[in-house]
Amino acid sequence: MATVPSTSRQAFLANLRESGLVGDEQFAALEARLPETERGRLVARALVKDGVLTKFQAEQLLAGRTSGFVLGQYRVLDEIGKGGMGRVFKAVHVTMNRTVALKVLAPQLVETEKAQVLFQREMRAAARLMHPHIVTAYDANQIGNRYYLVLEYVDGPSLDRLVREQGPLPAGLACEFIRQAAEGLQYAHEMGMVHRDIKPSNLLVLLPGGEPRRRRCTVKILDFGLARLQGSENDAQEVATIVTRPNMVMGTPDFVAPEQARNLHAVDIRADLYSLGCTLYFLLTGEVPFPDGGTLEKLIRHTTEEPVPIDKLRGDVPPAVIALVRKLMAKDPALRYQTPAELATALESYAAEVDGWTAPAMASGFTSEFPQEEPAEGAPSSAEALVTPLPASEPNFVFHASPTEDTGALINTILPDGTATLVSGAHLPGAVKNPAAQADRRRITLAIAIAVAIVGLLVGLISLL
């Protein structure tokens, strides 16, 4: 449980007044009914209990944060995700009282005019997608130097979290989740779009409950921000939303298609189908297809190796479903299902809402515990790593990206000058490693790299003759 520095009643209320979370009249009314105590934590607890503040807001105020709670018409309620490209918050539209997910880009990603144009193109592409199995993009805007995207809020876990907390899914339910995702991808395909980063963490599950008519789980595809409109060579410059160097890769190494690892610009919807096959493999086994090694090793194995057969890891998956996964993960795109609609039809016989399966009692990973006060003034606080005091000149929504935040590495992101990042060496935690096998693969990788270098040198020498 997080701890925060001890805060007095006076300091906490001063932070609350400055934050803009309550108006002057509301503040006066609140102050009159607060408990008689000089401990700011107890005052904060009372406001959370009364529904005036969220636990996230209270934690930030106790830690001394007075800015970053309001962006335009949106009041921030909680932080639900973060990464190198920015942070995602649960927020509410003040006027419409609609709960949304607010994705705020890290400032360094949109510092240049070129990067800003990329952002605008990506958002126009995402705005075209309106489908029950795709997270809806409501708005994209800029306030000062902050660029943000307003998305449909899905109060449910990702498939990645669901499997990691619940274990492999019943085969029928796993097929149903992938069938729904295929329906969303078919719609995007018909709109001329490819996702390019399909993975369990980009598939959210809206669990049963809440709305009276919502009696089944609903899968929604998240983050078409990496999508690139597909067009002819003549209009490629106009519709492209991603600029990468020819030798760079975009995607997540545990789920990326072989052809995407070779050439991002040459892929079509069948690359998403390969990634969907890797995702189904994960839902059925609880493991990624190639758990060992770093990024380069994983990319090579997707191209040259077959994963451990599903029936070696689990004995109750129907052979027809295993064959379906193998077809999805064929190295040659021509041997896969050719459209998501074709896949969805193939899954209908095996997809099912499973009787007796209980949806887990989990939300989207929000703070569930109220922060504990430190036992003594001045003692080290874990909250200091969460909330860094801001200089007076610092704008709202300052990002503190960590290289260990993501379970899958996004191999390529857009830097301020529009170029690509270096290939990440991240891999999924908890993978079972075989040192001897890893050493063999490293030797193979080195041999391949040397061979490629020699061939390139020979080609260069021949061209000079």
Q: How many Å apart are CA 340 and CA 181, to the nearest integer?
A: 9
Q: Which DSSP state fits 51?
A: T
Contacts of 355-363 with C-beta under 8 Å, sequence gap 24+, read: 357/170, 357/173, 359/207, 359/208, 359/209, 359/217, 360/157, 360/162, 360/165, 360/166, 360/207, 362/156, 362/157, 362/161, 362/162, 362/165, 363/155, 363/156, 363/157
Q: How many Å apart are CA 255 and CA 239, to the nearest integer?
A: 25
3-state helix, strand, coil in the chain (%, to 5): 40, 15, 45
Lowest-confidence segment of 67-76, 261-270, 351-360 by average pLDDT = 351-360
Q: How many Å apart are CA 93 and CA 339, to the nearest integer?
A: 38
pLDDT tens digit string along 418-436? Answer: 333 222 222 222 333 344 5
Measured in degrees and rounded to the nearest 5, phi and psi for residue 172 equal: -65, -40
Per-residue model confidence (pLDDT) at position 279: 97
Q: How many Å apart are CA 343 and CA 332, to the nearest integer?
A: 16
Lowest-confidence segment of 336-340, 377-381, 400-404 by average pLDDT = 400-404
Q: Summarize the confidence of residues 380-393 as an average pLDDT.
A: 29
Per-residue model confidence (pLDDT) at position 411: 32
Instruction: Provide the Cα torsion 247, 249, 254, 258; round to 10°.
Output: -60
Tokens of 142: 């800029």
Instruction: Indicate the pTM of the whole model.
Output: 0.71
Per-residue model confidence (pLDDT) at position 287: 94
Lowest-confidence segment of 28-32, 184-188, 241-245 by average pLDDT = 241-245
pLDDT surpasses 60 at 363? no
**Average of per-residue pLDDT values in the chain:** 73
Residue 440 pLDDT grade (very low, low, confident, very high; cuts 50, 70, 90) = low
Per-residue model confidence (pLDDT) at position 55: 94
Per-residue model confidence (pLDDT) at position 370: 41
Q: Residue 398: count other Cβ atoms within 10 Å of its Cβ.
A: 16
**Which CATH number applies to 164-347: 3.20.20.70, 3.30.1490.100, 1.10.510.10, 3.40.470.10?**
1.10.510.10
pLDDT tens digit string along 196-234? Answer: 889 998 999 987 765 545 568 899 998 875 444 233 233
Per-residue model confidence (pLDDT) at position 318: 95
Going from N- to C-terminal start, the domains of the chain cover 164-347, 435-465
Choice between 181 and 28, residue whose per-residue pLDDT is larger: 181
Residue percentage of the chain with pLDDT more than 70: 66
Closest by alpha carbon to 359, among 215, 220, 251? 215
What would the DSSP string read from start to end of 274-291? HHHHHHHHHHHHSS-SS-
Per-residue model confidence (pLDDT) at position 294: 85
Choice between 347 and 227, residue whose per-residue pLDDT is larger: 347
Per-residue model confidence (pLDDT) at position 43: 92
Closest by alpha carbon to 264, among 282, 283, 280, 242? 242
Q: Summarize the confidence of residues 142-159 as an average pLDDT.
A: 87
Residue 162 pLDDT grade (very low, low, confident, very high; cuts 50, 70, 90) = very high
Please state, in angstroms and as integers, the Cα–Cα distance from residue 154 to each residue in 90, 91, 206, 243, 295, following that order.
10, 12, 6, 30, 30
pLDDT surpasses 80 at 177? yes
pLDDT surpasses 80 at 74? yes
Per-residue model confidence (pLDDT) at position 1: 47
- Is residue 223 part of the annotated active site? The answer reads no
Catalytic residue among 197, 223, 254, 272: 197
Q: Residue 9: count other Cβ atoms within 10 Å of its Cβ.
A: 19
Q: Check the CA dihedral 349-352-355-357 and report its sign.
A: positive
pLDDT surpasses 90 at 389? no
Per-residue model confidence (pLDDT) at position 192: 85
Tokens of 356: 């007796």
Q: How many Å apart are CA 395 and CA 392, to the nearest integer?
A: 8
Q: Summarize the confidence of residues 92-107 as an average pLDDT.
A: 88
Residue percentage of the chain with pLDDT more than 90: 37
Q: How many Å apart are CA 327 and CA 338, to the nearest integer?
A: 10
Q: How many Å apart are CA 22 and CA 382, to the nearest integer?
A: 27
- E-assigned strands of 238-393? 372-373
